[in-house]
């Protein structure tokens, strides 16, 4: 028997998501509702998740929608591949990148780890106890870096940064000093540990697909 309280919550979420999709895409109420429910039944998408992923855009055809992967499907595939006996090796990016390299699999190079408390580490062997040490060590890393929570997912908390003229600049032009980045990572209330990794880019085929405008 379905839980009535859960049904109420899901229904209110669906109504809100459809309203937001209508505002963002000009999508019709009935068509968007059907699409959201189809994505939930067929691919396991939560309603909010489908909205965030852009899957409620009416310009996308059904074949394109089948290319979207929900967290439900993604986690099921991860469990099949990773098993349940090595969470530290597969969940924590500070360990995962080293584990992938040990398996001979491509992975971003791990450049550093900064925790909310205690010392940090920057490759190859620098211990980072304080803000000034971090500022100096960062100058020895590649000019493009990615900083992300070790236990984050879905792009939450990810910073893509380019070092220029003593500052770090993100893709939309926002600037932060290395010292301010240290302060932000050490005071992050949501994530207590971050990795610094090399920036990797899409291969030519993926980059071409993403840059090709959709036919109207």
Q: What is the pLDDT of residue 153?
A: 76
Is 148's pLDDT higher than 80? yes
The DSSP 8-state label assigned to residue 190 in this structure reads S
Q: What is the pTM of this model?
A: 0.66
Q: What is the mean pLDDT of the chain?
A: 88
Determine phi and psi for 189, rounding to 5 degrees: -80, -20
Give the pLDDT of residue 156.
84
Write the pLDDT tens digit of every residue in 193-209.
Answer: 999 999 988 776 655 55
Ranges of CATH 3.30.1490 domains, the chain: 89-198
pLDDT of 87 higher than 50 = yes
Nearest partner of 69 among 46, 33, 43, 47, judged by Cα: 43
- Dihedral sign of CA atoms 186, 188, 189, 190 in order: negative
In a 3-state reduction of DSSP, which class is residue 195? Answer: strand
| pLDDT tens by residue, 34-51 | 999 999 999 999 999 999
Mean per-residue pLDDT, 93-108: 90
Domain 89-198: give its CATH architecture: 2-Layer Sandwich (3.30)
């Amino acid at each position: 028997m379905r839980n009535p309280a859960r049904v109420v919550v899901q229904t209110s979420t669906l109504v809100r998501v459809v309203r937001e999709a209508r505002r963002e895409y000009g999508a019709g109420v009935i068509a968007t509702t059907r699409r959201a429910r189809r994505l939930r039944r067929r691919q396991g998408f939560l309603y909010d998740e489908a909205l965030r992923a852009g899957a409620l855009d009416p310009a996308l055809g059904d074949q394109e929608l089948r290319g979207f992967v929900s967290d439900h499907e993604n986690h099921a595939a991860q469990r099949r591949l990773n098993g349940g006996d090595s969470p530290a090796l597969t969940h924590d990016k500070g360990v995962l990148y080293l584990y992938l390299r040990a398996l001979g699999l491509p992975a971003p190079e791990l450049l550093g780890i900064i925790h909310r408390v205690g010392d940090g580490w920057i490759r190859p062997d620098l211990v980072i106890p304080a803000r000034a040490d971090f500022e100096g060590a960062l100058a020895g890393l590649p000019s493009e870096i990615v900083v992300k929570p070790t236990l984050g997912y879905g792009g939450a908390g990810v910073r893509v940064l380019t070092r220029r003229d003593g500052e770090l600049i993100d893709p939309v032009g926002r600037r932060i000093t290395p010292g301010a980045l240290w302060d932000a990572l050490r005071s992050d209330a949501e994530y207590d540990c971050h990795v610094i990794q090399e920036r990797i880019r899409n291969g030519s085929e993926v980059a071409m697909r993403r840059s090709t405008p959709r036919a109207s």
